A and B are shown apart, each in its own frame.
Chain A
Amino acid sequence: MANITFPYPYPEHLGIMMPEIILAVLAMALLLGDLCVPKEKKQWVAWAAVATCIVTLIALLQIPTAPAYTTFYGYFVLDDFAAYGKVLLLAATILGIFLSMDYMKDEVNIGEYYVLMLFALLGMMFMVSANNFVLLYLGLELMALSLYVLVAYQRDVLRSSEAALKYFILGSLSSGMLLYGLSFIYGVTGSFMFDGIAEGLAQAGSSSNIAVLLGMMFIIAGLSFKVSIAPFHMWTPDTYEGAPTPVTAFMSVAPKVAGFIIFIRVLADAFPSLQQEYTSVLIVLAILTIGVGNVAAIAQRNIKRMLAYSTVGHVGFVLLGLIAATQEGYSAALVYLTIYLFMNIGVFAIVILMRRDGIQGELLDDFAGLAKVRPGYALAMGLLLFSLAGIPFLAGFWAKFAVLTAVIDAGHIWLAVYAIVFSVVGCFYYLRLIKYMYFDDERVVFAFHESPVMQATIISTTLAVVVFGLYPAPVLAVCASVVTMF
């Protein structure tokens, strides 16, 4: 890519990395500052972490991204696509911190928790800006290591430790696969750069070369682990169930956003000559993912496990956008991720509210009669669930509409039919939860751990889902405008 002189106040080269630099410095400062904060005032750390995110966001928005800027010899790229991804990640992190504040105060009151979230964010921001497999790997590992610790945060709780161990072992395996695949690709093309690989593959003209195909498959498998694509989703339900609920909420959105954005970049930038091959792989993966996610969710009695499988199902839908492999497809995948972020954070916020001493409020039964006790929360949850099910007038409908449109335009009508058949199946378990809330009588005494922050999170996510549902044009337009470089 062309060497561009950088226009804005930051120094050249480092300039476009300024948001990451600011985030890293502030996060480390916060790690030290946390030592001075007394135990009962750990909320301050949380607010400082939110402030850090906001400062990072402002720094990010200062950079005009219209053409793609690269730095560090092209390793790091900042374009509209990456910038939009970073905005989503920052939003997810801020909402994730909001969800954690009360929960952490009640459970384990440690300030480093928020710092780890910031480090995970940092890793993900590097991921979405990676233009090179080495940087991608570094970002991925920074994210993953921070998440392993976050999952294990309630170290006295057996479930939490077990979840973390599973996540760690399978996560390491997937990283290994990614590196293994990378070694093949490097062997054939001699480059770690995405464009270098594409060039090398084009020169070699070796789309049938078994090493290239093998390498690409391993890279796809490694990335699939991170975004819970079946059959690499096995860790998801256990980890979601065992992790502290706010961490589950965070994990269910942010790594998916980062993972898919880099997935798109890898496929479109590094393997354009293998489009036919990777499309057929992705079609198989999508069929599995949509099927497994929606069917397995029906059997779950624990809402966190249910939402884990529902995530798998939604990931399958996002994958449809990648299969289309067109601008419309990538933009649809972004639309889906954006809307999914708000829906899922909102749903988890209500799950977190429902916890009681000793019991986590995690069984479907625990929601029985919610509409009578707290009509407000039940309404929010109902709207969010209908949105997850993809019913209009809620945003989830447009997410599905966008990916279906893209996949039909790309000529895969049967895949669209398959997807909607399973989305009807998927509807069942969302409706069942609504049934518990609205049609059943209350069975257990509700004790809510309410706070203004939680309420604000619930109201804002629900409102976003309703407003996007009635008037989705801005989201669709923004997502369409940021994928123009593919």
Chain B
Amino acid sequence: MEALNNAMNFPILSLSIFLPLLGAVFIWLFVKNDQAIRWTALVISMATFLVTISLVCMFDTTTAHMQFEEVNHWIPAFNIYYRLGIDGISMPFVVLTSLLTVICVVSAWQCIQTRVKEYMIAFLVLETTLIGVFSAMDAVLFYFFWEAMLIPMYLIIGIWGGKNRVYATLKFFLYTLAGSLLMLIALIAMYFKSGGDSFSLLHFMDYAFDFEWQFWIWIAFFAAFAVKVPMWPVHTWLPDAHTEAPTAGSVILAGILLKMGAYGFLRFSLPMLPDASQYFVPLMVGLSLIAIIYISLVALMQTDMKRLIAYSSIAHMGFVTLGTFMFTQQAVEGAVINMISHGFVAAALFLCVGVLYDRMHTREIAAYGGVANVMPVFAGVMMLFAMANVALPGTSSFIGEIMVLIGTFGATPSPYLTVSTQWIAVAAATSVVLSACYTLWMYKRVMMGNIVHDEVKTMPDLNRREFMFFLPLIGLVLWLGFYPAPVLDVLHVSVTHLIEQATSSKLDAAAILAAEHVMPHAATH
């Protein structure tokens, strides 16, 4: 028991945040040779992964309180603390981040031959900022990591990206920055409104903001999170960024970065601004359905594989935002499962495209055809992930989507929503058909049929290293598809607590606060 207590006091979260950063500094200063840099990066990212696994092992699934908390002074002038903690909602993303970073490092082994050092440093720094985002419990610390992430991502797309990389990376940077800065202003305004003594997220969750404040702050948060998710109509940076990014960049973008937006809704908008969140349910439902239906149709028409998967990501994120704003246990849990699952599936599909790209140096669907004849193992792997993208039962996406649909069907999320949730569920369910259309059609054109291009004949099948980075993803997709209970256990208590926060209005408390505020004020006049 004492050993366990000691373990709990050890700053594991800080370790998992700063281990990659220290590793990056170490590589920068001491490692010269390219191969040594690769190995060092692999060792560091594996070590970080093991540290986050220890979080899983010690995680207490019976409480919605923040765990592994750390509080230290940082900037006393503004009451900003270095405050960390994770609950059931953020813990899976910390692990997902460290897992995908390992895969990114491995996937870059051969295809990145220029400026290997900068590449590995960029990914390790990125990992630091991403884990930081998911474990920060102080609003400024959260923002600090949230925006610092732009620096490595800007360089990753800009240096190792495709032809149109400069345009894509600038667009990505400026879109995200514009949204985030509005969030910064909202956070500062909340700080003063709530008494000017703490930036703690828990403090913001407890403080009763009146409706007008909730309304404007919600819009500012929406600007930041909707760009990141991304939701229609601010999604246009994503296809460009995905298409131009190097494979591993797309993996991190699809696997983690998009989740930051949805995580923001769960961590900020819902518990801090419950009344405004209810008010905006119709907007969120509308935008989510547009993402699911319209963006799926757009995906159907793509000729570039990466672009197609990028649009499919937006459509899947539509499911996530829909589930989030239904305020039912199944829908929210389904949304989180969907995020995790999409982290595996989209990452794997981008890796599949990367495998093809390494051999043919093109992402055009039309340049392939009949690949299954020469790459049977790869065809099998890609088939599995294509099916997972379609949400076939037995894969992780199925669990997520069915939970969102069930949760939506019976939900009464908001008095402002005039459309029956049954119809919303029906509309959302069209995604199952549409995703099957674009995914399988792409699979057919790339993998099936006869070989029409001579270059395809010489394509070698997966090598051992490539198979190795698919293996954990295959395992996870199937495990989550057949037996999601462990993950649901982790989520359950935290999601229950979240829904309780999101469905209890703050307005009465705000009115009392306002009355208290007016009384002494009036007395002084």
Contacts and interface: CB of A to CB of B under 8 A. Distances in A.
Contacts, number: 85
Interface in A443-486: 471-473, 476-477, 480
A417 B166 CA distance: 27
B181 A477 contact: no
A476 B78 contact: yes
B417 to A, nearest CB: 30
Contacts of A404: 184-185, 188
A429 to B, nearest CB: 11
A69 B81 CA distance: 37
Nearest to B160: A439
B75 A473 contact: yes
Interface string B55-84: 000000000000000000111111000000
Interface string A410-421: 000100110011
A427 interface: yes
26 contacts: A371-B118, A391-B147, A391-B148, A391-B151, A392-B144, A393-B148, A397-B144, A401-B78, A404-B188, A408-B185, A408-B189, A409-B192, A409-B196, A413-B189, A417-B185, A420-B185, A421-B181, A424-B178, A424-B181, A428-B174, A432-B170, A435-B166, A438-B158, A439-B159, A472-B75, A476-B78
Give the residue among A392, A404, A473 with the most B Cβ atoms within 10 A: A392
B268 interface: no
Given A391-B151, A408-B185, A408-B188, A435 B170 contact: yes
Contacts of A434: 154
Contacts of A401: 78, 140, 184, 188
A396 to B, nearest CB: 12
A119 interface: no
Given A417-B185, A431-B170, A477-B76, 19 more contacts: A386-B151, A393-B144, A393-B148, A397-B144, A404-B188, A405-B78, A405-B188, A405-B191, A408-B188, A409-B192, A416-B188, A420-B184, A424-B174, A424-B177, A438-B158, A473-B73, A473-B74, A473-B75, A477-B77
Q: What 7 A-B pairs come out closest when comparing CB atoms?
A: A476-B77, A420-B181, A392-B144, A424-B178, A439-B158, A392-B148, A473-B75
Give the residue among A391, A409, A472 with the most B Cβ atoms within 10 A: A391
B298 interface: no
Interface residues of B, number: 36
B246 to A, nearest CB: 13
A191 B397 CA distance: 78
Contacts of A392: 143-145, 147-148
B279 interface: no
A423 interface: yes
B173 interface: yes
Contacts of A438: 155, 158-159
Given A392-B147, A431-B173, A421 B178 contact: yes
Contact of B75 (A386, A424, A476): A476
A408 to B, nearest CB: 5
Interface in B169-214: 169-170, 173-174, 177-178, 181-182, 184-185, 188-189, 191-192, 196
A473 B182 CA distance: 24
Given A421-B178, A424-B174, A416 B185 contact: yes
A438 B181 CA distance: 25
A371 B159 CA distance: 10
Nearest to A475: B77
A350 B170 CA distance: 24
Contacts of A432: 170
B149 to A, nearest CB: 9
A367 B274 CA distance: 50
A200 B185 CA distance: 40
B150 interface: yes
Contacts of B181: 420-421, 423-424
A431 B169 CA distance: 10
Interface string B136-166: 0000100111011011001100110000011
Give the residue among A427, A477, A480 with the most B Cβ atoms within 10 A: A427
Contacts of B118: 371, 375
A401 B181 CA distance: 10
Interface in A367-405: 371, 375, 386, 391-393, 397, 401, 404-405
B142 to A, nearest CB: 11
A139 B185 CA distance: 39
Nearest to B75: A473
A411 to B, nearest CB: 9
Given A413-B185, A435-B158, A428 B170 contact: yes
Contacts of B185: 404, 408, 413, 416-417, 420
Contacts of B177: 391, 424, 427
Given A427-B173, A480-B77, A439 B165 contact: yes
Contacts of B166: 435, 439
B114 to A, nearest CB: 9
A424 B174 CA distance: 6
Nearest to B165: A439
A476 B73 CA distance: 14
B77 A473 contact: yes
Contacts of B170: 428, 431-432, 435
A483 to B, nearest CB: 12
Contacts of B173: 427, 431
Contacts of B144: 392-393, 397
B376 to A, nearest CB: 39
B441 to A, nearest CB: 35
Contacts of B73: 473
A404 B140 CA distance: 13
Interface in A88-119: none
A349 B426 CA distance: 63
Contact of A473 (B76, B147, B148, B158): B76
A365 to B, nearest CB: 14
B94 to A, nearest CB: 19
A425 to B, nearest CB: 9
B390 to A, nearest CB: 37
Contact of A431 (B76, B154, B191): B154
Interface string B239-261: 00000000000000000000000
B192 A408 contact: yes
Contacts of A413: 185, 189
Contacts of A431: 154, 170, 173-174
Give the residue among B148, B159, B165 with the most A Cβ atoms within 10 A: B148
A471 B73 CA distance: 10
A281 B458 CA distance: 72
A427 B188 contact: no
A404 B191 CA distance: 12
A472 to B, nearest CB: 6
A405 B196 CA distance: 11
A133 B184 CA distance: 40
Interface in B461-491: none
B439 to A, nearest CB: 33
